[in-house]
Amino acid sequence: MKHLGQKIRELREKQNLLLRQVAAHLEVDTALMSKIERGDRNASKQQVIEIAKFLKANEDELLTLWLADKLENVVGDEKDLAPDALNILKKKLKK
């Protein structure tokens, strides 16, 4: 399970919401929502924004987790090179 999916599940369960209720709000099927929670599928940025609104969650926090999951997917097996690459990116973003 990825970071975003864990957080979504945690928020949903705290509010005693069913998976199908969140899925219905997003207008996706329950199976897709389940895959997002398990980290088997990535949500779109817009879906993350809608989930944050529906669950009354911090949008920036969920988007940060979403981006972290995307970066992890890109890094993949390049774990030896990833820290240096991320440091370069961090410096570039500060400019």
Condensed to tens digits (0 to 9), the pLDDT of residues 72-85 reads 888 888 888 888 99
Domain ranges of the chain: 3-94
Give the predicted TM-score (pTM) of the model.
0.87
DSSP-assigned states of every residue in 30-80? HHHHHHHHHTSSPPPHHHHHHHHHHTT--HHHHHHHHHHHHHHHHHTT-TT
- For residue 92 the two structure tokens come to 């570039």
State residue 75's pLDDT score: 86
Looking at domain 3-94, its CATH class is: mainly alpha
State residue 72's pLDDT score: 87
